[in-house]
Structure 1
């Protein structure tokens, strides 16, 4: 998908959020369920924060890949915990990310 966007939309950019691989796996196997019975929809694609550099290899015209800070004031997790997880070496690669991909060629 990323390579297709780079090919078709010259000079454009893409901003996307991604769940980590462990979370993706849990959604596809039905393990993400609340006490009330809600099941998170399947998310078959995941990307660990430490793998963002792999996006650059999706297409030769991709010129920049960088992580964006998560929006503030989005509840306890996004507002407080998520930014802290990025600073803990053992946890920084297993957190959700927001990524900007640019194609300038």
Structure 2
């Protein structure tokens, strides 16, 4: 089955994780250096970065696998589905039609 939205979501996840790793490589040292006045804030920031690193690795692997499994085909055809019939109760104002003055 073809799911282009899942492929796009996985691609977006990989892009965001890539941006995180570039920021980690280039700018996270400045963040930690700015927290030198408070050891508690520094410890929390280091812990948060460590957790984000550990979570980003399997998330990137799963997103890559999803991209491989749901890669869009070049000759895919879009099929228009028929519109669903609306019941009279589907209208939001069905309950006060006769009672309104």
TM-score by length of 2: 0.23
Greater RCO (CA < 8 Å, at least 6 residues apart): 2
Higher strand share: 1
Richer in helix (by share):
2
Structure with greater Cα Rg: 2
Q: TM-score under structure 1 normalisation? A: 0.22
